[in-house]
Structures are given as structure tokens and as C-alpha cells.
Chain A
Amino acid sequence: MSSETKQILTTDGIPLEISLKKAERKNKIKAFLLVAPLLLFLIITYIFPIGEMFTRSIDDKMITNMLPKTFKSMETWDGKELPSEEVFASFLSDFKILVDKKEHGKLAQRLNKEKNGFNTITKKLFRQVKRNKIDETQSIKEQIMKVHKRWRNVEYWQAIKRTAPPYTSAKYLKAMDMYLNEDNKITQVSEDRRIHRILWLRTVEVAFFVTVFCFLMGYPIAHLLATLPMKYSNLLMICVLLPFWTSLLVRTASWMILLQQQGVVNDFFVMIGLVADDNRPEMMYNKVGTYVAMTQILLPFMVLPLYSVMKTISPSLMRAGKSLGGTPFVAFWKVYFPLTIPGIGAGCLLVFILAIGYYITPALVGGASGTLISNQIAYHMKTTLDWSFASAMGLMLLGGVLVIYWLYNKLVGVDNIKLG
């Protein structure tokens, strides 16, 4: 059909489309060059690190590279009974190379993570290999099996086979307090070791309530800001922004001064007789402290989008609602409130996403019962140096945020977000 329609030509006889493209090309290149630095910056600082994090979190290539022949010969093994002579032979040859490179310790460590008891038997095997006690002209299988009784146990060979794939979901399962058992089934860890799930739930809970508190406190402030005369609203705006301009650490530290047991708030409670001097409530190093400090710190992120939306709502709409017979409440609920939803959405999303990954404040005022998943991530980054586990948890956090974003889009629509 399109071929039948007559092509429109410019005055010079060039097809219009081509001419238009030529004319626009320069502008397109210009526009691209303008955004190119940002694009590059984003790729280097955002997309690339996230990709790196992802590969790190599922990477299990180390052992794959250590035992290449073993895994190759294991491909035909059904895993039910002890493997064949061939598997034992390739394992020994892989192991000898590792001994030469002095990497057998790493192997022992990695295998021990998969199944307890590998450390001992690997060391025993190492001693035998070192003393050249293994005669390669005879059955290697028999000789290895004599090194330690566990080498005769099929479960240990199954454990080796499980480490074969270059990628693993173990870190993700660990973050959910689960692991793959001997039968390749996802199993929960024993009850007393389930710490991550509590942290995840607490993180979501804290983020949710901080968002709710921010909304409850921010909505009236934003409304006041939007309706007060310029003179007062500017002052109020400065009050809202002042904490914004103060260092996060300073603000958190000041909350510590206020909330500690011998702190200002407690002193005040004692003074007015609300609590006894020897029975001061703990408001810090628990969830209360986290809630209070995070709500205060994240409040501007709620107020600002709400304010920018409320600013655009004409005061005559409320008046119209009232003059048409709506009580002030009806006019607010049916007219004003629905118009602020874009601001509410933007504010809540912003606060929730920031709160879910919050780190410094819970670390300082959270104590044991107020730390969040971000503190756990930091712990593995800095203390245990298990970066792949930290990466896995970080990515799960990112995934969670994306899910929330998707949900929000389904419920409210992203087009409805108004940030300014």
C-alpha cells in the first residue's frame, strides 16, 4: 500500500522523508552529544557496577577451574554409587596440579563449605600425594579410598559434583536463610540460624512505617507551605530544608543526644513526672530510635513533592467545592485530596526507596533490634569480606525496589508521579 502512495518530493526533487532526515540529523547528533557524558557516566557508574555485582553474586568458577578433568569425567556418573576409577584418576591428576600451585588449601575450604569434613580428608590426601605414596600404576580408586573412610562415602563425591556448575544460587538462598541440600532441594536452615529473613522483614516494616509517618507529618506541612502567604511560607520552607543542608551524621548524632537514656527527651519526661528517674525508657539502640531519626531525616523528601503538587492546585477549587454545598471535609476529601495523589505517590515512593536502603542512621541509633539489611550488607563487605554475598543481598534489595516501582505503576501509574 505504502509503495502505491505517491512519494512527496521537495522543490529540489529529493524525497521529502530523506530531506527531513538530513535536516534533522544535525540536531539529533547535537542532542546526543549533549547527553553522551551523562550516558557514559551512567554506564560506568551504574550499569557496569550492577552487572559486575550480579556476576560476582552468582560466580562459582573458582572450583570449576580447579577440577576441570574431574568434572568432565563426572558427567557420565549417575551419582548413586561411588564413581568409577576414571573419576578418581582425573581427581588425583587435578589435585596434583593444585598441590604444585599450592592451591589445595583453597579447594579444601571451598569443598568444606559444601560439606563439612572435607578439610580433614583433603589434608590427608595432600600428605599422601606429597610423600608420593600413591602408585599410579595400580588402581587409584582403591588407594584414595584407603586414605580416609570418608573418601569411600558416596555423599562426599556427590558434594564435589554439586560444585561443578560455574554459577550458583547459593548466595541468594543464603540471604533467604535457605540452602541446597544433598538432594539438590531447597531447604531452610535450622530455626536458630535464620537471621536474614528477620532483617528483610524488619527493613520493609521500618521503611513502610517511616513512609507512613513521613506522610502523616509531611502532608499538613506541605499544605501549609502551599497556602501560606509568601512571607511565612519562605520561612517555613527554610525550616523544612535546614535539616537537609545539615550533614546526615550531625543530624543523627543530635538525635543520639536527644534520645539517649540520660538525654534531653528523657530528662524532660522525668521533669514533668511522666516517667520515674530510675525507669527511663530506652528510646535509642532499638526500633524507636530508628523510626524517629529516619522519619525526621526523610521528611523533606515527602514534603517537597507534595508541596510542588499542592502549589499547582488552585485555591478556587476548594472554594468551588464548598460553594457547591460540600462541607469543608467533603471538599477536601473529594476535591483536594485526589488532586494531591501524584505528589503522595512521588513522596511515598521516594521515602520508601530511600528508607529501604538506609544505612548510617540505623547503624548509629538502631542497636541490635534496629539494624536493617543494609547494615548486614555493610558487615559482609567490610568484616567477613564475603563480597559475593553482599552483592547478592544488594541485588535483592534492588530487585525489591523494582518490584515496588512496578506495583506502584500498576496501581497509580508512573505518569502520575510529579516530582516538581
Chain B
Amino acid sequence: MSKNTEFVKFDKVDKSYDGKVLVVKDLNLNISEGEFITMLGPSGSGKTTCLMMLAGFETPTNGEIYLDSNPISNIPPHKRGIGMVFQNYALFPHMTVYENLAFPLRVRKVQKDEIDKKVDKALSMVSLSGFESRMPAQLSGGQQQRVAVARALVFDPAVVLMDEPLGALDKNLRESMQYEIKHIHENIGVTVVYVTHDQGEALTMSNRIAVFNDGKVQQLSSPDKLYEEPVNSFVAEFIGENNTFGGEVTDISKDVCKVKLQNGEILANPVSVNSKGDKTTVSIRPERALINPKDKMDNNQTGKIEEVIYHGDHTRVRLDLLGNKEFILKVPNSSNELDIKLGNEIKVGWNSQDARALDPK
């Protein structure tokens, strides 16, 4: 059975609230059945608006959204059969956990014993069996979160939307919940559309990530590709840490180009530059630049250590390199033979493959 790769389809969707500014511009996005897709972006980038349009709380100003090939713009939210986990959980405070979970089943006129079975199953899925008679206020944040997830799944919806569901939890809980939601997704194979502004969350959980900025999808790809091969400088900046150099292309061949900086010259991977004279921003991941590299690398520079911050498993070193005073290096804790001291000059090298020449900022 082949999976429908256009299970959810945004087709040329525009959205404006005031008739002056487009919050979402020409969105085209296909989500396959059973996929975990994350909409990632800074606040105001249009990701939540997309989710609300899919849920039916906002209507597209232009274009159409299809669910399993059916246009859904004119279907009210309660008939779409889409489960949703809200930012603040939106558990009904006057109902017990059981009643909260039974709500979607009761409005669908499901038999009483069937409801009991389904609620039981959903609660055990989020390991909250035995909490049926508690009120939401008697639960911790993490437990409320799980009830919200269980409630969104209990009526077997085709798609589940999650709107920054972990935003209110503390760091440790957030991480364990990430894995838990990921496992639930893997176990039941429901299609999940997840919205977050936390890139770490997006990277750990998703099959694919759509990076939003300024109402547009900047890049849609798997987490590793997104991190390793960002297609533009916004994605490179937004996902993970990033060292950048602004410059101009002076020479270009198939897979390497020369970029002239303010004081110096480096070799880079021409991703979105085409010809000589193009302005560019070169992006290098901190962990791709090595101190005193043993292997031969085609970029070798010397920098002065400006700051050393101990992070436990690694040490962050800030260098003044080629006029960039914010050049970050991550030195693993195992390499303790290195002489990292404030003010020292050290040699740094990286491969031109890892220095991606992207669009200028």
C-alpha cells in the first residue's frame, strides 16, 4: 500500500488579516500520510497561521487546502476530524481527565463501553492510566500535556496538529516529552503537523521540517539536510550555530569558489552564487572548523582567542578571525592537549566543502 504523498496539500495559499500585509505568501506544501512535519520559524513568520488554516479557525484569503484530495476551506472545524493540541493545552478545566478524553467521542455519539475502551487505551498510551477521575488542575504541566495529546488522538483523527505544545514546560520535561511524542507518532502512524520556534525540538522529532520566514517556506527538507545543507543564509542562521563571512566571489568553478573578504580570501562551496562578482555570505558550522588540523584542509587561517566558555562536554572558543570577532569554535572536552588560553593565537582549518557560499544578507 503506497502512502499518499499529498495527504495534506496547501495549494497556492495566501493569507492576509488586514488586506495590506500578507502573513502567508504563496504557500505550496505537500504532507504525506503518516509523516511528522514541523513548521519552524521565528514568531510572526506565519507558521501558526498555516496551522490555524488547516484546523479551520482561519480561512485562506486565496488558494485551497486539500485533505486527502478533498478541498476543506469551506468545512467548519468540527467537521474536519483533525485533532489539535494547543499551546496552553486547552484542557476543559471543569471536566475530569476521563470527561476531557470522552468529549470528542461523546459528540460523535460513540457507545459508552466503546468510549471507556478508547479512553483507557489513549491514557495508557501516554502512561496516565488511573488518572481518569483527576481534574486538570490536579495534574502537573507534563501530565496535562499528555492528557492534551491523548485527547487529540483518542478519536483516531487522520491528522493531528500541535501548536507549540511543549512551550510551557521546563527544559528536562520538554526533552522527555519530545521523545514521548515521537514514539507515539511512530507507534500509531498518524500524520502530525507540529509548530514550534524551537529548532532543537524540530530537529529531534520531525521527518521533515519546513522553515518559515516572512510568510514563506524557506526550506523544506529532512533535519540532517536542513542542518548540513542550508539553502540560504536565513536557514543557516536560524538552525544551529553558524559562523559567517560576508564577501564577493572572485573566482568560481564547479564545486569551489574563491571569496574575497574584507581582509583575506577563503575557498567556499558555491551553493547559491553563480558568477564572479556576486555578493555572498559564507557560512561555516562551528564544529566543522578544527584547531591545528591534522588532515590537510584547503582553508587554513590563524585567529586570536577572545573568549573561552566552559560548557561541560565542550568548550566554546570565540576567535577574532579574518576580521570576524564572533567566530565560534566548539572544542570537545576530550581534546585537552590543546593550549586554549585567552589571547593565544591558534591555527584553524576547514574544508571548502563545509564553507557554504549562500545569498548575501
- By a beta-carbon cutoff of 8 Å, the part of chain A in contact with chain B is 314, 316-317, 319-328, 330-331, 334-335, 338-339
Which chain B residues border A325 with CB–CB below 8 Å? Answer: 78-79, 81, 104, 107-108, 155
User: Inside 8 A of B151's CB, which chain A residues have their CB?
Assistant: 324
Contact with A along B156-180 (1 / 0, CB 8 A): 0000010000000000000000000
How extensive is the interface on chain B, given as a class? 20 to 34
Q: Mark B55-71, 1 if CB is under 8 A from A, else 0.
A: 11100000000000000
**CB nearest to B103 among chain A residues:** A324
CB distance from B100 to the nearest CB of A (A): 9
Contact of B78 with A328 in the complex, beta carbons under 8 Å? yes
Give residues in B with beta carbon < 8 Å to A: 55-57, 76-84, 86-88, 90-94, 103-104, 107-108, 151-152, 155, 161
Q: Which of A319, A330, A339 contacts B77 (CB 8 A)?
A: A319
Indicate if the CB atoms of B78 and A317 lie closer than 8 Å: no
10 cross-chain pairs, A with B, having the tightest CB-CB distances, nearest first: A320-B90, A324-B104, A316-B90, A323-B84, A322-B77, A316-B86, A322-B78, A326-B107, A325-B107, A338-B94
**Cα–Cα distance between A339 and B108 once the two chains are bound (Å):** 22
Across the interface, name the chain A residue whose C-beta is closest to B55: A323
Known: A330-B107, A339-B93, A339-B94. A323 touches B78 (CB 8 A): yes
Contact of A322 with B76 at beta-carbon distance under 8 Å, contacts A316-B86, A316-B90 already known: yes
Chain B residues, CB < 8 A from A331: 78
Most B C-beta atoms less than 10 A away, residue of A324, A327, A331 = A324
Q: Which of A314, A323, A331 has the most CB of B within 10 A?
A: A323
**B77–A317 CB distance below 8 A:** no
Bound form: Cα–Cα A404–B87 in Å: 41
Q: Is the CB of B83 within 8 A of A324?
A: yes
Q: Is the CB of A324 within 8 A of B86?
A: no
Q: Can you list 20 residue pairs at the A/B interface with Cβ under 8 Å?
A: A314-B90, A316-B86, A316-B90, A317-B90, A319-B86, A319-B90, A320-B91, A320-B92, A322-B57, A323-B82, A324-B107, A324-B151, A325-B79, A325-B81, A325-B104, A325-B155, A328-B76, A328-B78, A330-B107, A331-B78
How far, in Å, is A300 (CB) from chain B's closest CB? 27
A81 to B81, CA, bound (A): 91
Residues from chain A with a CB closer than 8 A to the CB of B84 are: 319-320, 323-324
Q: A317-B92, A319-B57, A335-B92 are in contact. Are A327 and B86 (CB under 8 A)?
A: no
What are the residues of chain A within 8 A of B76 when measuring CB–CB?
322, 328
CA distance A323 to B108 in the complex (A): 12
Cβ A316 vs Cβ B55 within 8 A: no
Chain A residues closer than 8 Å to B103, beta-carbon distance = 321, 324, 326, 334
B148 — nearest CB in chain A belongs to which residue?
A320
CB neighbours of A338 from chain B (8 A): 94
- A326's partner among B78, B83, B86, B91 (CB-CB below 8 A) is B78
Closest to B99 in A: A334
Number of A-B contacts (CB under 8 A): 68
Closest to A313 in B: B93
- Residues of chain A with a CB closer than 8 A to B152's CB: 324
Assembly CA distance A210 to B82 (angstroms)? 44
- Which of chain B's residues have a CB closer than 8 A to the CB of A322? 56-57, 76-78
Residue of A nearest to B80 (CB): A323
- B163 nearest in chain A by CB position: A316
The answer on a CB contact under 8 Å between B77 and A323 is yes
C-alpha gap A298/B76 in the complex (Å)? 38
Nearest-neighbour CB distance to chain A for B312, whole angstroms, equals 38
Chain B residue contacts of A326, Cβ below 8 A: 78, 103-104, 107
Q: Establish whether residues A316 and B78, one from each chain, have CB atoms under 8 Å apart when the complex forms.
A: no
Q: How many Å lie between the Cα of A370 and that of B55 in the bound state?
A: 54
Q: Which residues of B contact A320 (CB under 8 A)?
A: 84, 86, 90-92
Q: Report if A324-B93 is in contact (Cβ < 8 Å); known contacts: A314-B88, A316-B87, A334-B103.
A: no
What's the least CB distance linking B55 to chain A, in Å? 6
Residues of chain A within 8 A (CB-CB) of B94 are: 338-339
Give the docked Cα–Cα distance between A348 and B152 (Å).
Answer: 36
- Bound together, the chains give a CA A326 to CA B109 distance in angstroms of 11
Which A residues lie within 8 Å of B93 (CB)? 339
Q: How far is the CB of A330 from chain B (nearest CB, A)?
A: 6
Which B residue sits closest to A339, measured CB to CB? B94
Contact of A323 with B83 in the complex, beta carbons under 8 Å? yes
Q: How far is the CA of A339 from the CA of B94 in the complex (A)?
A: 7
Shortest Cβ gap from B348 to chain A (Å): 49
Q: A408–B87 Cα gap in the complex (Å)?
A: 36
| Distance (whole angstroms) from the CB of A181 to the closest CB of chain B | 55
Instruction: Name the distance in Å between B102's Cβ and chain A's nearest Cβ.
Output: 10
Cα distance, A204 to B58, chains bound together (Å): 47
B92 / chain A contacts, CB cutoff of 8 Å = 317, 320-321, 334-335
**B89 smallest CB distance to A (angstroms):** 9
Complex CA distance for A321 and B56, rounded to whole angstroms = 13
Q: How many Å lie between the Cα of A317 and that of B86 in the bound state?
A: 9
B56 neighbours in A (Cβ, 8 Å)? 322-323
- Please give the distance in Å from A309's CB to the nearest CB on chain B: 12
Separation of A330 and B56 alpha carbons in the complex (Å): 17
**CB-nearest residue of chain A relative to B86?**
A316
